[in-house]
């Protein structure tokens, strides 16, 4: 048996008596043309290591395996074990490894024994915490190609100044180059979700902030965007107020949504310098 001999995904689901479960955020991509397009956008190739979160019926997994990548698939729902075991048998020997676990607590560095890519049609209920985990380390993927609900995708790639610009944009763009690469309508999924979706591709920046700087950036963005209608001098009062804001070359009367990523990084540096002097 090879990948080409596998039954269509809809048939595989029926054969194993599997229906989508809402609690696991299950909305399946059963059209291999779409999953192949995502695998192409991920730009993974022969021998490259990929973690896929939530293989479910395995449509994206099949497409990733077709590229020759080595896939480690982390699935929380044990019901998929027999169906995914069929996929292990159809794949090249050693090409697909299954782990039945919660991706939120998975240790990617140990799983991969080094670097690798992440490609996933993410379960929407844990999409943002998983992204934050990969953006802030300690393990950093070589690239991430991830399906989110469209509204989250827009928050990741948002330019400064707009309503979608917030904590997620600052953390994502300080650490990565983030680009929306594909819109996917709700009807492409089984069952269709209530919202539209989009694929975002993120690659780590060479000047990625250190863990300590990222930690401060997270504190500052939480405070600044927690009260986004307030001026920085009010929202950042407890973290240093006007002296901190001025040391970063920013206007204390500015609001968080007008401060670009470089401005937030200067704030983090000013906070670290003030701490070192204290």
- Which residues lie near ligand SAM (CB under 6 A)? 24-29, 53-57, 59-60, 74-77, 102-104, 121, 123, 126
Structure tokens given for 232:
């920085």
Nearest to 149 by CA among 132, 126, 177: 126
Instruction: Find the shortest distance in angstroms from Cβ 144 to ligand SAM.
Output: 15
If the CB atoms of residues 63 and 174 are measured against ligand SAM, the closer one turns out to be: 63
**116 close to 50: Cβ distance less than 8 angstroms:** yes
If the CB atoms of residues 88 and 224 are measured against ligand SAM, the closer one turns out to be: 88
State the Cα–Cα distance between residues 131 and 204, nearest whole angstrom. 12
Instruction: Find the shortest distance in angstroms from Cβ 239 to ligand SAM.
Output: 32
Instruction: Find the shortest distance in angstroms from Cβ 133 to ligand SAM.
Output: 11
Helix (H) or strand (E) holding 80: none
**247 close to 191: Cβ distance less than 8 angstroms:** no
Question: 3-state DSSP call for residue 63?
Answer: helix
Instruction: Find the shortest distance in angstroms from Cβ 25 to ligand SAM.
Output: 5
If the CB atoms of residues 26 and 173 are measured against ligand SAM, the closer one turns out to be: 26
Residue least distant from ligand SAM (Cβ): 54
If the CB atoms of residues 146 and 265 are measured against ligand SAM, the closer one turns out to be: 146
Within a 13 Å sphere around the CA of 107, how many CA atoms are in the beta-carbon half?
3
């Amino acid at each position: 048996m090879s990948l080409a001999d596998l039954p269509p995904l809809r048939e595989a689901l029926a054969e194993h008596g599997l229906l989508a479960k809402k609690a696991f955020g299950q909305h399946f991509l059963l059209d291999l043309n779409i999953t192949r397009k995502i695998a192409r956008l991920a730009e993974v190739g022969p021998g490259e290591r990929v973690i896929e979160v939530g293989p479910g019926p395995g449509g994206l997994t099949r497409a990733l395996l077709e590229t020759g990548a080595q896939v480690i698939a982390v699935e929380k729902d044990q019901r998929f074990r027999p169906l995914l075991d069929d996929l292990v048998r159809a794949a090249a020997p050693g090409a697909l490894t299954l782990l039945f676990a919660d991706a939120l607590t998975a240790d990617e560095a140990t799983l991969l024994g080094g670097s690798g890519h992440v490609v996933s049609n993410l379960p929407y209920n844990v999409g943002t915490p998983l992204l934050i985990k990969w953006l802030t380390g300690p393990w950093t993927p070589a690239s991430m190609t991830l399906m989110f609900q469209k509204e989250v995708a827009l928050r990741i790639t948002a330019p400064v100044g707009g309503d979608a610009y917030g904590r997620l944009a600052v953390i994502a763009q300080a650490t990565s180059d983030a680009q929306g690469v594909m819109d996917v309508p709700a009807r492409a999924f089984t069952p269709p979700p209530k919202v539209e979706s989009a694929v975002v591709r993120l690659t780590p920046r060479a000047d990625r902030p250190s863990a300590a700087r990222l930690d401060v950036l997270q504190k500052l963005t939480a405070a600044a965007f927690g009260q986004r209608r307030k001026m920085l001098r009010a929202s950042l009062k407890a973290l240093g107020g006007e002296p901190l804001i001025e040391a970063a070359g920013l206007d204390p009367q500015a609001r968080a949504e007008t401060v670009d990523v470089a401005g937030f990084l200067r704030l983090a540096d000013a906070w670290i310098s003030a701490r070192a002097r204290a």
